[in-house]
Amino acid sequence: MSDKLASQSKAEPVVIAKPGAIENRQVTIDGQLLQVAVRHGDGSGLPLLLFNGIGANWELAKPFLEALTRTTAIVFDVPGVGGSPRPLLPYRPSKLARLAAGLVGALGYAEVDAAGVSWGGGIAQQFAHQYPKLCRRLVLAATAPGVTMVPASPSVLWKMATPRRYTDKDYMNRIAADIYGGAFRYDPSLIGRHADAMQGAHNLGYLYQLLAVAGWTSLPWLWSLPQPTLVLMGSDDPLVPPINGHILAGLIPNAELRMIDDGHLFMVTRPAETAAIIEAFLTDENRRVRPSSLLSRATDHLRNFIPTSGGRHKP
């Protein structure tokens, strides 16, 4: 991170708080006001910088934050969402990565682990690529390599085209099972709790998020990511089909793929399970980058989709 960027960042010093406490603050980075939440850990490891999904305010990540047992976690509302005011002009993932790097420095950290959920997974990939010395490990949840992803069905994509689900709870109740899958299909109470936590994106803020990733892809440089990476995918995810996780894990040199028996929002519906998996990955000191052949890794993961002699796919 450049000295210039650091000089443009304003934040109060990190407050020593009881582990598990969640602190809200506003931080100005490069002229942009950000609403930031810090879940305080026990100080034993690097903080986890979390990039949220499209239209999602930080409160939607609260079940996951509360399920962490030792990790300090940082999550912020992107400009135009929740408590972060909308900028005058649209932005690209590189701009959000730069704001995130400035935030890390403003909070007093020299290195972090990074995680991204869905839309935020693209920003996390960009952050890891753009600031490799700042990002030690990477967690990608329910996400894809951008515009080159294997897409959801048109009916699901159409429901995601506007932020209406953030402002109309009746609409959210009607479509949640179709777009999120998993536990949302059989537990209606999840929909209400999720909707209650939404403060969501303004219409133009949501549009800015869509424009940010329009035409963006990580495919040309995934092979160069140096971070050990954990890829988590929901087995019943209508929005980001699981094959996208196989693509990510096949192209990132030192990546592990784990499937969660749930839908797109498994970090919300299975927070304790997800937090345990992520913390185990982040604290595995024996995990090291192992250079490997791009072609061999892609071939190994694609074998999962080759039909066996009985006509069924391998598990």
For the question of residue 153 being annotated catalytic, the response is no
β-bridge mates for residue 28, sequence order:
10, 33
Out of 118, 218, 224, 309, pick the active-site residue: 118
The string of DSSP letters for the chain reads --HHHHHTEE-PPPP---TT-EEEEEEEETTEEEEEEEE---SSS--EEEE--TT--GGGGHHHHHH-SS--EEEEPPTTBTTSPPPSS---HHHHHHHHHHHHHHTT-S-EEEEEETHHHHHHHHHHHH-TTTEEEEEEES--SBTTS-PPPHHHHHHTSSTHHHH-HHHHHHHHHHHH-GGGGT-HHHHHHHHHT---B-HHHHHHHHHHTTT-B-TTTGGG--S-EEEEEETT-SSS-THHHHHHHHHSTTEEEEEESS-TTHHHHSHHHHHHHHHHHHT-TT-------HHHHHHHHHGGGSB-TTSPBP-
β-bridge mates for residue 217, sequence order:
146
Report whether 200 contacts 81 (CB < 8 A): yes
* Sequence-distant (≥ 6) Cβ neighbours of residue 165 within 8 angstroms: 159, 171, 172, 175, 176, 179
The residues annotated with a catalytic role in the active site are 118
